[in-house]
Amino acid sequence: MNKDVLYKDLIPKPVSIKRQEGLLCFGVETKICVQPGCDQALKAAEHIAQTLRSLTGFPLPIEICTEEPKQGCLFFTSQGARGELGEEGYSLTVSAGLVTIRAHTFPGFFFAGQTLRQLLPPGEGPWQLEGVEIIDYPRFAWRGAMLDVARSFFSVDEVKRVIDLLAGYKFNRLHLHLSDDQGWRIMIDSWPNLALHGGSGAVEGGRAGYYTKDQYREIAAYAQRRAMVLVPEIDLPGHTNAALAAYPELNRDGIAPEPYRGIQVGFSTLAVEKEITYQFVRDVLGELAELTPGPYLHVGGDEAHSTTLEEYKLFLERVHTIVAETGKTLVGWDEIIQAGLEPTDLVQIWRRETKAQAAAGRGAKLIMSPCHHIYLDMKYNPETVLGQDWAALIEVKDAYGWDPVTVYPGLAEEDILGVEAPLWAETLRTIKDVEYMLFPRILGVAEIGWSPREGRSWEEYRQRLAAHEPRLEVQGVHFYRSPQVPWKGR
């Protein structure tokens, strides 16, 4: 493989990458050296070491080295890490016999490790790194995907698979849609029937199940070890049939509805006028906040078509107070703009017609999830068996050819916290279904979230994506071979 091709399949594209003299050949004596007292580097080094050991077969021992190493090692250090790299940036230099990774934080070191992996061949040797200098840092702070585990359940191992795949592309947020009309997926001790009853449902043909608290903690910890923050969502006041079916007293008339297995939306609402509703919300969000290491609680707020605007505003006002009591930051779908917003709120913009500018004007930061570009449950084309098409048909180029600042009018770079690709599961059943709808479109989202906008071109990206194919193959990803991409493989 010649040099250019070797580094022409990096996704997301680094801010700057320059060739330079030098070569590091992995061998039995190659070491990983970590600066003393740099625990963030050590944690990341341990993670990338496991990957490189299983890939290369070399022992790659980790050593704490007191002085700058000379030869034959991968050196992780915060010394000389430049300030402008920010919270998640890093520099990675390959010179003669030495790789030097400089960063300030665990995410920075971890993301450098993901780039390092992509500098090596996909599946077999030669295990060597050619001379290069990379300076890299993300454009946006929030780079996420959402997995809907409510319509159809996904096991802990399947969620871990999604985390592993996303972490490789520098995503740092996983939003789990834990409750909806069809299912409730997290045990809440003070309201056990939510999971026991609400966890037994799903869309027709979907999978039932729920996470125990320990399983949820396991997912959160697994994500954290991969520089990813878990963002849990309890959708309120709409999308609540599973909760209403589990507890009659939550219903206006005290009668519990039947479990729902269809795919309509907007027909359910909590009883905003009943005090028990707020006890429910306080208990649920309180227990979930206690379980969640990250700073975010997503309260949904979408498609509350059975809640009057008056009721919706009142409800959201009280939910704001409840979330504030947990110490977490409130995240909501863009309908929450119609209620009162706090400047600390994060608003997830999803609808084609939405008042994104209004939200930004009130100080909220925006997470861009435009349904017509990155709702990855949308079909690729009319022949795609999985997915829906109400928002748009979204081919690989559509998921790449947009920008978070210009996709809605009147926004500035600083209004945008980042991007997140939702994957709704009305039509998805297995992890292979998930992989097929995510890949390759999610790679474009990774690039939009991380890489500079300047110089972005579909023509250049589609070649790089095609060159990236062996990396998808070696990860065993079941991906859609779009005719828009000049794949090299079979």
Residues that bind ligand IFG (CB under 6 A): 265, 302-303, 333, 350, 375, 377, 388, 424
Kindly state the smallest distance separating residue 359's Cβ from ligand IFG, in Å.
Answer: 15
For the record, the structure tokens of 56 come out as 């290369």
Kindly state the smallest distance separating residue 56's Cβ from ligand IFG, in Å.
Answer: 42
Q: What's the alpha-carbon Rg for the chain, to the nearest Å?
A: 23
For the record, the structure tokens of 314 come out as 């009142």
Partners of 31 in beta bridges:
73
Kindly state the smallest distance separating residue 378's Cβ from ligand IFG, in Å.
Answer: 7
Kindly state the smallest distance separating residue 215's Cβ from ligand IFG, in Å.
Answer: 23
Q: Is 420 in the active site?
A: no
Kindly state the smallest distance separating residue 348's Cβ from ligand IFG, in Å.
Answer: 8
Of the pair 161, 175, the CB lying nearest ligand IFG is at 175
Of the pair 211, 350, the CB lying nearest ligand IFG is at 350
Kindly state the smallest distance separating residue 315's Cβ from ligand IFG, in Å.
Answer: 17
Of the pair 302, 395, the CB lying nearest ligand IFG is at 302
Q: How far is CA 181 from CA 50, 257, 328, 409, in A?
A: 41, 11, 25, 33
CA 279 – CA 133 distance, rounded (Å): 56
**Catalytic annotation, pick one of 303, 395, 426, 435:** 303
* CB within 8 Å of 310: residues ≥ 6 apart: none
Of the pair 30, 369, the CB lying nearest ligand IFG is at 369
Of the pair 76, 333, the CB lying nearest ligand IFG is at 333
Kindly state the smallest distance separating residue 379's Cβ from ligand IFG, in Å.
Answer: 11
CA 21 – CA 369 distance, rounded (Å): 42
Q: How far is CA 131 from CA 109, 374, 425, 477, in A?
A: 19, 36, 44, 30
* CB within 8 Å of 304: residues ≥ 6 apart: 237, 238, 266, 269, 312, 335
CA 488 – CA 490 distance, rounded (Å): 7
Output phi, psi for 81, to 5 deg. Answer: -70, 125
Of the pair 35, 369, the CB lying nearest ligand IFG is at 369
Residue 26, amino acid? F
Of the pair 165, 423, the CB lying nearest ligand IFG is at 423
Catalytic residues: 303
